Amino acid sequence: GEDVEQSLFLSVREGDSSVINCTYTDSSSTYLYWYKQEPGAGLQLLTYIFSNMDMKQDQRLTVLLNKKDKHLSLRIADTQTGDSAIYFCAESIESSYKLIFGSGTRLLVRP
Amino acid sequence: GAVVSQHPSWVICKSGTSVKIECRSLDFQATTMFWYRQFPKQSLMLMATSNEGSKATYEQGVEKDKFLINHASLTLSTLTVTSAHPEDSSFYICSARAGDEQFFGPGTRLTVL
């Protein structure tokens, strides 16, 4: 079945870059997403990448996709304290639009 | 951008009662909405897919008679937790599909005493 895995925790210093990694198993995924969740809140879509792309950049965010290894990463440049949150990667299952979420990575940005 | 609202944002109820949660797409029409459940410090688990005008499709292990879903219009889906028990306490989040993107509501925290 489908499975999405992420490391649980990442701590970085303010101003440094953060890299959050994700692996998935379903090779038929059409889109891969990154969502941000702040405490007690819903999910905010940060960015997404189509499965035939290998990179997408959007301001401070860079998404890299290695389809061969089924590895996805999110790089946040110049990380700020306001970036502290839980980050979820998710894959969409072809034709159903269902999302399968990873366990989430808690990012802590130290001043 | 696309906005999805949920109501209520939090609810406390007694064991055995039923609770209805609404999910609305405010500025777009959504033929498909999804309901997720999130336990503390855990990921989101898809409960069901709600299609306007048809029966919801439930994920394996989700009781359809306990979690009633109604998608009466292109902007509204409701989730009713029937005969709620303390183990149903959770954070319930809906999402609405717009093209290839899904937009999430702010979530509803349900506490069953």
Q: Are B83 and B76 in contact (CB under 8 A)?
A: no
Contact A42 B43 (CB under 8 A): no
Minimum Cα–Cα distance from B100: chain A residue: A97
Contact A43 B46 (CB under 8 A): no
- Dist. CA B89–CA B112, nearest whole Å: 5
pLDDT digits (tens, 9 = 90+) for B7-61: 999 999 999 999 999 999 999 998 899 999 998 878 899 999 998 888 899 999 9
Among candidates B6, B102, B106 on the partner chain, residue whose Cβ is nearest the Cβ of A99:
B102
Mean pLDDT split into 10-residue runs, chain A, 111 residues:
85 97 84 90 89 92 94 97 95 79 95 91
The pLDDT, as a whole number, for residue A65 is: 95
Contact B93 A103 (CB under 8 A): no
Q: What is the mean pLDDT of residues B84-112?
A: 92
Interface of B with A (CB under 8 A): 4, 6, 32, 34, 42-46, 49, 93, 95, 97, 100-107, 109
Q: What is the mean pLDDT of residues B78-102?
A: 92
Instruction: Assign B1 a pLDDT band (cuts: 50, 70, 90).
Output: low
- Dist. CA B12–CA B2, nearest whole Å: 29
pLDDT-above-90 percentage for chain B: 75
- Dist. CA B104–CA B109, nearest whole Å: 14
Direct distance between the N- and C-terminal alpha carbons of chain A, in angstroms, rounded to an integer: 41
Among candidates A42, A45, A102 on the partner chain, residue whose Cβ is nearest the Cβ of B101:
A45
DSSP one-letter code for B86: G
Signed CA dihedral, B8, B14, B72, B99: sign only: positive
The pLDDT, as a whole number, for residue A21 is: 96
Could you tell me which of A68, A64, A72, A69 has the C-alpha nearest to residue A92? Answer: A72
- Dist. CA B80–CA B19, nearest whole Å: 5
Angle at CA of residue B113, ends B48 and B7, nearest 5° = 45
Minimum Cα–Cα distance from B106: chain A residue: A42
Place of tokens 């937790």: B81
Contact A103 B42 (CB under 8 A): yes
Contact B44 A41 (CB under 8 A): no
Q: Are A24 and A4 in contact (CB under 8 A)?
A: yes
Does the pLDDT value for residue B87 go beyond 90? yes
Provide the number of CB pairs (under 8 Å) joining chain A to chain B. Answer: 52
Strands A105-110, A9-13: pairing kind: parallel
The pLDDT, as a whole number, for residue A80 is: 97
